[in-house]
Structure 1
């Protein structure tokens, strides 16, 4: 088992998501990995692209993002990577429950030779969680936060090589639905390390949440929606239906940016 030192430039915190209230079984032995840190309550392991390729039996490229994601949502793959059956099930569940974040992470790894997957297991009495993120320096298209944002545009057609990877790799979601007296707002931002910053507010229902709860809420709303290949009307109807909201809005402002810098951006009044 390889061992490396923790450096500030490499160790990037991942978003926490509690998978179970049951005690987490320690003793992970990930053979095809690098153990970054291990304490009584937390273990951080990184997996290179080569580690993942070997475990899933598929080379991680722009065109295989979704295929690799599907494999990593299965416990048997994490068993191959050295986890016990109980722990493998928890890590697989983490991937399965956070598709947009997970595919964003895999896209970063596919496009950057020096980026690895980071898996953090937190093991405390009567509590467990699994966090995922990335480690290393990212230079992938779409990670430049200083890029100039255009105003209102239609969808930009992506290149053929990036289309498959970017189809479900949303980097940013921003939806603002304005009514006469109340609004509904969704904000979802996948950072370059794969962590997610999210906020959801529905003034009609009184829901106001951020963090993991907002992330899960927004991912559920977008489940089953192919943003790239849907019309403005189809997108609007899908979101409104998922929100159980009224069609009589003053403005429907929709923006999704992908990791390859393409976007779908429109307003309906």
Structure 2
């Protein structure tokens, strides 16, 4: 009887070990690691991977909902990253809303695009993001399609406070000349590869920002503003309020371009 009991315990241990190995194997195959060394790790995620880790199918109508899941550390932990790595990736993905959402939006237009996550592990740990075309024959995209109706896409969409049309922003130029003689200019452009080119100038105060500093400054100014569908009065009032230099202007110029080829342009004096 003791021998039989021992065999059962041994068999159970082997089964648990096999199950554990199977879980590790599945996680490793979920996304495609294309580069890994002591400096960085580059991993590609396709739409099937995003569906698996967020529970949401990436479509043009719910890009903002997917974004809200990808700024959670728990999502990246589910993708196989350690808790510290997941926190870094979630933090950096959420630092630039327009850039991150634009990357996701482009993935909905082109099926072969993958979200590229570059985790820099040497020195200051940080994450960078981009897009890459990478065909993987073994990727089980087709079998996962029937799961889409089961995901809670519709209930989550109205709860998202982010305006979906903002994700289409391609280029923005604003110039304000105040009656006091002060002048502020800002330019914000989302490039085809998802990178952002930004510049902010306050000539009277000799302030000139470029790169990430200008990017954060401008995103703070336009946050909460419907650039595409807002009225001239709403846009002007919001921008002037955010700039904090008063409401008396001599000239206000606004030009916004979007990925769907629409354009909003006006000049007020």
TM-score bracket for this pair, using the shorter chain length: 0.7 to 0.9
- Contact kept in structure 2, 1:166 and 1:260, CA below 8 Å: no
2:131 paired with 1:134: yes
| Residue segments in structure 1 that go unaligned for 5+ positions in a row | 1-28, 138-163
Q: Give 1:165 shift.
A: 4.7
- Contact kept in structure 1, 2:45 and 2:114, CA below 8 Å: yes
| Residue segments in structure 2 that go unaligned for 5+ positions in a row | 1-26, 135-162
Name the CA distance, whole Å, in 2 between partners of 1:165 and 1:30.
Answer: 33
2:94 paired with 1:91: no
Higher relative contact order (Cα pairs below 8 Å, separated by 6+ residues)? 1
- Give the total of aligned pairs: 214
- TM-score normalised by length of structure 2: 0.75
Name the CA distance, whole Å, in 2 between partners of 1:222 and 1:199.
Answer: 14
Change in CA separation of 1:100 and 1:30 when aligned onto 2, cut-off 3 Å: farther
CA deviation profile, 1:10-40 (whole Å, cap 9, x unmatched): xxxxxxxxxxxxxxxxxxx865211122221
Match of 1:236 in 2: 236
Name the CA distance, whole Å, in 2 between partners of 1:225 and 1:72.
Answer: 22
Match of 2:155 in 1: none
- Contact kept in structure 2, 1:166 and 1:259, CA below 8 Å: no
CA deviation profile, 1:38-61 (whole Å, cap 9, x unmatched): 221122111111111111111101
Name the CA distance, whole Å, in 1 between partners of 2:106 and 2:266.
Answer: 27
Match of 2:205 in 1: 205
- Contact kept in structure 2, 1:47 and 1:117, CA below 8 Å: yes
Which SS does the other structure have where 1:257 is aligned? strand
- Contact kept in structure 1, 2:51 and 2:57, CA below 8 Å: yes
- Structure showing the higher helix proportion among its residues: 2
Match of 2:46 in 1: 48
Match of 1:80 in 2: 78
Indicate the RMSD between aligned Cα atoms, in angstroms.
Answer: 1.8
2:167 paired with 1:171: no
CA deviation profile, 1:177-228 (whole Å, cap 9, x unmatched): 1246442111111111111111111123322111111111111111111223
